[in-house]
Amino acid sequence: MDTGTHTAADALADRLLTDTLGALELFSVFLGRELGLYEALAAGPCTPDGLARTAGIAPRYAREWLEQQAAAGLLETITSKDLRRYALPAAYRPVLLEPESPAHVAPLADLIAGIAGVLPRLPDAYRSGAGVPYRDYGPIFRRGQGGINRPMIAHELPGWLAAVPGLGARLTAPASPRIADVACGEGWSTVALARAFPGALLDAYDIDPDSVGVARSNAAAAGVASRVECHLADAAEKGALGGPYDLILIVEALHDLARPVPLLEAARDALGPGGVIVVVDERVADRFRAPAGEVERLMYGWSVTHCLPAALAEQPSAGLGTVLRAPAVVALAEAAGLGAEVLPLGNDFFRVYALSASAG
């Protein structure tokens, strides 16, 4: 027997088993979120019957889910006499329940669940080269997309923008600065910018009607609707963007666009004098390397299951995929008549680019 091959096969088999465990436990987190089970547990320890009553689910499911969550280490058990109750540890609340906490990664469960819903359609798409529209990934995926970026958007993005050379002063200037949030999704970036720059007037644009609807309600709920207008628009269409803008922001969307160059051209045309386009996109390496690190693997994972199929749903499509490397961003900007600068900002997942008519 070839011991080396056997060991490699064993290692891969172990890895896939661990991955299966991760996928199943993420699905269970999705159920907890969707059914309000973590919220119910946040009010205090529950028995299965208690959880079933509070959350309006069937007692048999409540018992199985609680046992699974405790077995997985997401819940603690408190047993006295014959009664077992389940408790959500306080330390886990930010991860599962606090949408703006930097630890809030629970929306990943929604993203995975949303992808699972369309997964059976992907083999046909792979064979034909067709895509799967963003909208078809559904409200759960959309909520996951909005939710997973929300902590970064709330805590880091305003500081990144204030640090873009020449931009900070414009955004806080007394003459109401104008901002466009292009491909705004659920509009969390629009809300964060309206809060961070209280004199600013904002336009949010997205091609997905459901996203625009949610962005509008999020702006209203945040009390910033009087300074925010949400537009249903294909931002790659000439003249789709109003303006002139001091800032045009594109958060985690450039790689999703079927027509990135026309969109950047439209953005260029909508910039006011000295205005800047800030692109926040994935922090991937400048070149393909394999095997790759975890961030790169994560981005390829989204790409093969979501971003590339969504981008290919519109034809013709640049078909960029999630792994949009810095040299490719610079090339797209140049094709649109813009200069691009990679800024020393961002975090482990995101890189920040400044595009302007004068840069480069």
Ligand X SMILES: C[S@@+](CC[C@H](N)C(=O)[O-])C[C@H]1O[C@@H](n2cnc3c(N)ncnc32)[C@H](O)[C@@H]1O
Roughly what angle, to the nearest 10 degrees, separates helices 3-34 and 107-118? 100
> Minimum distance between the CB of residue 307 and ligand X, rounded to whole angstroms?
7
Mutual angle of helices 48-55 and 59-71, in 10-degree steps: 120
In the complex, least distance from residue 219 CB atom to ligand X, rounded to whole angstroms: 14
Considering the complex, state which of residue 48 and residue 262 has its C-beta at the smaller distance from ligand X: 262
The nearer residue to ligand X, 211 or 305, going by C-beta atoms, is: 211
Q: Kindly determine how many residues on this chain lie close enough to bind ligand X according to the rule CB under 6 A.
A: 22
208 binds ligand X (CB under 6 A): yes
The span from the CA of 41 to the CA of 29, in Å, is 13
88 vs 271 by CB, closer to ligand X: 271
Contact status: 115 vs ligand X (CB under 6 A)? no
Note whether 262 and 291 are within 8 A (CB).
Answer: no
Of 40 and 140, the one with the shorter C-beta distance to ligand X is 140
293-322 mask for ligand X (x: CB under 6 A)? Answer: ------------------------------
User: What's the min distance (Å) between Cβ of 233 and ligand X?
Assistant: 6
Which residue's CB is nearer to ligand X, number 69 or number 211? Answer: 211
207 touching ligand X, by CB under 6 A = yes
CB contact at 8 A, 32 and 25: no
Looking only at residues 121 through 180 of this chain, which bind ligand X when binding is defined by CB under 6 A? 134, 145-146, 149
Please report whether residue 193 would count as binding ligand X according to CB under 6 A: no
Q: How far is CA 163 from the centre of its chain?
A: 22
Strands 350-356 and 271-282: antiparallel
Is there a contact between 161 and 168 (Cβ–Cβ < 8 Å)?
yes
Residue 183 makes contact with ligand X by CB under 6 A: yes
* SS3 state at 319: coil
Alpha helices in the chain (DSSP H): 3-34, 37-42, 48-55, 59-71, 93-97, 107-118, 122-128, 138-155, 157-163, 167-171, 188-196, 209-221, 260-270, 294-302, 308-312, 326-335
Which of 28, 69, 211, 218 binds ligand X (CB under 6 A)? It is 211
206 binds ligand X (CB under 6 A): yes
Provide the mask over 259-278, with x wherever binding to ligand X is found by CB under 6 A and - wherever it is not: ----x---------------
Cβ proximity to ligand X: between 40 and 250 the closer is 250
Please tell me whether residue 107 binds ligand X under the rule CB under 6 A: no
Nearest residue relative to ligand X (C-beta): 185
- Which amino acid belongs to residue 324? L
Tell me 278's DSSP state: E
| Closest of 222, 172, 167, 178 to residue 204, by C-alpha | 178
**Looking at beta carbons only, is 85 or 325 nearer to ligand X?**
325
Dist CA 42 CA 90 (whole Å): 8
Residues 233-262 that bind ligand X (CB under 6 A): 234-236, 251-253, 256-257
Residue 40 CB, shortest distance to ligand X, in Å, is 28
Residue 356: strand pairing partners: 339
185 binds ligand X per the rule CB under 6 A: yes
Q: Are 259 and 318 in contact (CB under 8 A)?
A: yes
Residues that bind ligand X (CB under 6 A): 134, 145-146, 149, 183-185, 189, 205-208, 211, 234-236, 251-253, 256-257, 263
